[in-house]
Structure 1
Amino acid sequence: MKLPSITIAFQTAGIAAIERSQKGTVALLLRGSEEAAKTYTIYDATDIPDGLSADNKAYISRALIGYTKPPQKILVRVGASTEEDLTDGLNYLATQKFDYMAGPPDISSKEAQAVATWVKNQRDNNHAIYKAVLPDTAADHECIINMTTNDCDLGDDAHTKLNAAQMCSRIAGLIAGTPMKISCTYAPLPELADCARLTREEGDAAIAAGKFILIHDGQKVKVGRGINSFVTTIDGKGTAFQKIKIVECMHMMEQDIRQTAEDNYIGKYPNSYDNKCLLMTAIDGYLEQLYNDDLIAEGWTVKINLEKTRAYLKSIGVDVSAMTDDEIRRADTGDKVFIKISVTILDAIEEIDIEANI
């Protein structure tokens, strides 16, 4: 005797999620091909093609630096040199699996806005969970990281300075190389000697405006805070959606639960109460895997969504006025299953208040 297949599938998804959270994939859209668009998969610096321009090579190399680990891999699409046209690259990325993306190092403001719109549409319409790092793009969305720091000094003899657009691949690689247990807040960028300086007040204002900034603490350059561009909080979408770490875990859970249910449950079981319980038990096992790896807090719940079930029954003419909660749970809901999951995603330690009495 073995566990039902759906339980095994969700446990496997949980283990895969933990493994996947250790490092991610970056996609870069570049230009410079005089022929047809070219695609490369890069795992380390030795995979960078010789035929690329020096700027493109450097852009890829910066993405490979990562944070605690380098990204798992870099997907590179090199398109035509024509500006204001990334359509081919975006169409290619729509068929790929990746975590973070960045446009070319000379991306224009118009192009950045077009990429932001595409990413938001992919999220809203296709449940996509990838994010874009874009320069000076106040998108007010959890899937767009608004990189705004300029004058990033490489510390070489020429004091080469990179602007926000040229640094986007570095930030995409840094976030992708951040394990999901921690955040990229205060992640150091040891290759930089300096960057555009901000006062504490200016830094606070930038972060409040959803800007991803680098700061110099007097000794080194580091990330100010691991936030995205989302600032306009609403009921049901609060400040947690501003944190890169929390959104990444949230999206991962959503995708894993949806995909595993589609592959292993939908169409494969009669819609009885027992089989609804089987699905809930399987999801509970998935969440336990995440809890064991310190991604979520203890105390999650998985249960029948009474409100939506009751509303559905009313919509098909069932008199629910005298039905108990248990009767609602066990009611025949045709081909529909309504489940409610409550879970707290663990944030990283980012603020410490120490009171010392001497």
Structure 2
Amino acid sequence: MAAGTWDPTALPIEPGLYINFQEAAATAIRGGARGTVAIPLLKYGANATAKQFYTVSKEKEAQDLFGADNIASIRLALMGGARDILVYTMPTDPQPEDYADMRDAFDSRQFNVFVFDQEADATEQDLTKAWVERNRTEGKHFMFVAGGTADEDADPALGNARSTRLKHDYIVNLIVGGTLSGKTYTSAEYAPYLAGLIAGTAINRSITYAQVALEDVNKRLTTTQVREALEAGSLVLIHDGEKVKVVTGLVTSGKKIRVIRARQAIATDITMTAADAYIGKIDNNPDGQAALISAIKAYLERLEANNVLMDPAVMLDPENESVGDSVFLLISFAHVDSIERIFLTINV
């Protein structure tokens, strides 16, 4: 089924569902699966073949397929909370064209968060950003978690510059790594844990102040550096004296991960449900339109009951006439965010 965005001056001719995101609107119907992290694996044992997909949900499965020494990223993603890992095996000594093939291969698979196996250079990060944007335009919604090298982690300004370069609603940029069981991870090496944390967190929950599996960070930021990082849209880990935790769940555009994941879920759910139950199956008359509006509103009301959004409204778009084979709906709701800042005024 075709999907993507629509332009009122040049409507697509293919049957399908087309969604425009505005700051106040999005759409959906039935809840889909969450919790899948996509990883292009660089090294693997003889039990796996290059340029193939494998799905694993347990560390033991991954060990048997790829070898215990090759699954650090998979292990971290599962520790973070991923339900399962969609693995694509990269060729030995991958070249730029192999990364292009990998992205093309993932286009036909469903997942929620993409992350690299190890450090990726700026060129591959930029190409991945373009890939994320192309998929969003075509109607496929997922997040990309990026990270940096040890040198970049040592200077938060470099991490923040990466956030600026990768600015996008669907991209998270981790600028701090840390130590666990005697091993120090760069932010790029630890990014799979954050990918698992994001994928495994319910869309009505935030990762702000979530404790992560690290004993310490590899760079303790000052209060000023933390503030500058948040202003740049960076995702920061801090050691609060007892544990390591996420400061605030942000994407590089400065918006909240919770809000963006809700939008992604809504767009994905309605696209998949429309293909099964609505496209080509109901009449474009008042009864058919009412049935579609009722289904979408019922779905949004379920999200409202689960504190994902508030005050949903669904109606025919008065600016675009729903005739022939086209239906234009106007949908609005308010996002529910988590309380993250508490301001007290105490009179004594």
TM-score by structure 1 length?
A: 0.78
TM-superposed CA distance for 1:285, in Å, is 1.1
Q: Distance in 2 between matches of 1:208 and 1:39?
A: 38
Match of 1:210 in 2: 233
Higher Cα Rg, which structure: 1
Does the 8 Å contact 2:317/2:328 carry over to 1? yes
CA pair 194-149 structure 1, distance change in 2 beyond 3 A: closer
2:290 maps to which of 252, 277, 292: 277
Residue in 2 that maps onto 1:56: 70
After superposition, residues 315-330 of structure 1 pair within 5 angstroms as none
List per-residue Cα deviations over 1:111-148 (Å, max 9, x = no partner): 22222221111112x21111111125431111111121
| Secondary structure of 1:340's aligned partner | strand
Quote the residue 1:295 is aligned against.
Answer: 308
**C-alpha distance in 1 between matches for 2:213 and 2:70:** 21
- Aligned counterparts of 2:64 and 2:324: Cα–Cα separation in 1: 59
Quick check: 1:91 aligned with 2:104? yes
Output the amino acid matched with 1:226: G
Q: Return the offset for 1:357.
A: 4.4
Alignment partner, residue 74 of structure 1: 85
Could you say if the C-alpha distance between residues 95 and 225 of structure 1 is closer, same or farther in structure 2, counting changes exceeding 3 Å? same
CA–CA distance in structure 2, aligned partners of residues 81 and 115 of structure 1: 20
Partner of 1:253: 266
**Residue of structure 1 equivalent to 2:335:** 345
Is 1:149–2:149 an aligned residue pair? no
Match of 1:36 in 2: 50
Give the deviation of 1:171 after TM superposition.
0.9
Q: Give the aligned residue type for 1:45.
A: E
SS of 2:43's equivalent?
strand
CA contact (8 A) 2:39 2:114 kept: yes
Residue 88 of structure 1: CA displacement?
2.9
* Contact in 2 for aligned 1:155/1:193 (Cα 8 Å): no
* Residue deviations 1:267-294 (CA, integer Å, cap 9, x gap): 2233212321221112111111111222
CA-CA distance at 1:193 after TM superposition: 2.5
Among 320, 324, 332, the alignment partner of 1:334 is 324
- Select the residue among 164, 167, 192 that pairs with 1:169: 192
Contact persistence 1:195–1:215 (CA under 8 A): no
Q: Distance in 2 between matches of 1:44 and 1:51?
A: 11
Q: For 2:319, what is the secondary structure of its paired residue?
A: helix
Which among 138, 144, 151 is matched to residue 132 of structure 1?
144
Aligned pair count?
A: 301
Local SS of the residue matching 1:167? helix
What is the Cα deviation at residue 53 of structure 1?
5.9
- How far, CA to CA, are the matches of 1:208 and 1:280 in structure 2? 39
Looking at structure 2, the residues matched to 307 and 223 of structure 1 have their Cα atoms a distance apart, in angstroms, of 43
Q: How far 1:187 sits from its partner (Å)?
A: 0.9
Find the residue that maps to 1:165 and give its secondary structure. helix
Partner of 1:100: 113
| CA 192–206 in structure 1, closer or farther in 2 if over 3 Å, else same | same
Task: Output one character per residue of 1:27-63: Cα deviation in whole Å (capped at 9) or x when no partner.
Answer: 1112135963343211111111346466532221111
Which residue of structure 1 aligns with residue 243 of structure 2? Answer: 220
**Quick check: 1:263 aligned with 2:289?**
no
Q: CA deviation digits over 1:89-121, x for unaligned, max 9?
A: 222211111100111213222222222221111
8 Å contact kept, 1:182–1:348: yes
- Kindly indicate whether the alpha-carbon contact (under 8 Å) linking 1:141 and 1:229 is maintained by their aligned counterparts in 2: yes
SS in 2 for 1:288: helix
Identity %: 31
Q: CA deviation at 1:266?
A: 2.5
Tell me which of 204, 220, 230 is aligned to 2:253. Answer: 230
- Deviation, 1:230, is 1.4
Q: CA RMSD in A?
A: 2.2
Q: 1:169 to 1:258 in 2, by over 3 A?
A: same
Counterpart amino acid of residue 170 in structure 1: Y
Structure 2 unaligned blocks of 5 or more: 1-27, 149-161
- Sort the Cα spacing of 1:38 and 1:303 in 2 relative to 1 into closer, same or farther, 3 A: closer
Match of 1:123 among 136, 142, 159: 136
Counterpart residue number, 2:18: none
